Amino acid sequence: MNLSALTALSPLDGRYAAKLAPLRPIMSEYGYMHRRVQVEVTWFIALSDAGLPEFAPLSGAARELLLGLVANFSESDAQAIKDIEKTTNHDVKAVEYWIKNQFKGHAELEKASEFVHFACTSEDINNTSHALQIRAGREVLLTGLNAVAAKLREMAHQFAAVPMLSRTHGQTASPTTVGKEIATVAMRLNKAIAQIEGVQILAKMNGAVGNYNAHLAAYPAHDWEAFSRKVVESAEPVGLGLTFQPYSIQIEPHDYMAEVFDAVA
């Protein structure tokens, strides 16, 4: 059976596919892979600037190639990663191998290739990628909500003097206006928008159990917490532009996701 709107398992990809089209490149597996590549590349470039004796700062040409992997990531690139995964049986490792494959023929990057994914656990890449997806998806949602809020404000002013019957306890009561009733809804929506916008999107990059064990085993004198914070919080493309989660176990707790979803609901 071929995949179509009628055969999709979820109505998100079926009945509502057209309405959710803007989210497809963000929230799909393709979008997930894209953000994983972004995180791996960002971490790799940052390591080159960390003063590690075995990893000299990258040249401008090397940085341009790396940033191009993110900027020009395509469906065929995602498929290549899926093909690698057939061998690795590990989705994050497949991303790592795909990036290393892009280094072939570039001596500078080939020499430094073992610093791809250096000291990271898979969840370092996954939680940051999820955070980037949530942030981008939130922007799509907020664009729509702000448009609705603006229209409601316009209508509240437009109909401010139009009288209408109001009710209390199911009985007719003092008069109101259409504009005032619309303004009530607009105020509630604006509050909901502020709650969605106000959630800090967190991410961690602190290793397998949250203690920088592998990082410190390799380079014990380096301030890895400060380094990770810089990668997570610096603006793109130097960093990820997220909020740093300083304490965690292997996984970021994802409490912020619950906050986002609750605010949306």
What's the burial of 112, exposed, middle or buried (CB within 10 Å: 0-12/13-18/19+)? buried
12 part of a folded domain:
no
Structurally, the chain folds into a number of domains equal to: 1
pLDDT of 177-199, one tens digit each?
999 999 999 999 999 999 999 99
Q: Which of 13-17, 35-39, 77-81 has the lowest mean pLDDT?
A: 13-17
DSSP β-ladder status, 202-203 and 243-244: parallel
**pLDDT reported for residue 246:** 97
> How long is the chain?
265
Q: Which amino acid is at 249?
A: I
Q: Is residue 206 part of a domain?
A: no
- Please report the DSSP string for 226-250 in residue order: HHHHHHHHSPTTTS---EE----SS
Let me know if residue 87 belongs to a domain: yes
Confidence of residue 207 (pLDDT cuts 50, 70, 90): very high
Tokens 């991410």, residue located: 203
Q: Residue 236 above 90 pLDDT?
A: yes
Range of the domain at 43: 20-118
The structure's pTM equals 0.94
CATH number of the domain that residue 79 is part of: 1.10.275.10
Does the residue 262 lie in any domain? no
Tokens 């590349």 belong to residue: 41
Residue 41 lies in a domain: yes
Over the stretch 151-171, which tens digit does the pLDDT of each residue have? 999 999 999 999 999 999 989
Arithmetic mean of pLDDT, 91-110: 98
pLDDT tens digits, one per residue of 244-262: 999 999 999 999 999 999 9
Considering the domain boundaries, does residue 95 fall inside one? yes
Q: Establish if 35 belongs to a structural domain.
A: yes
Residue 130 placed within a domain: no
| Predicted pLDDT of residue 3 | 84
More confident call, 131 vs 1: 131
CA-derived radius of gyration, the chain: 24
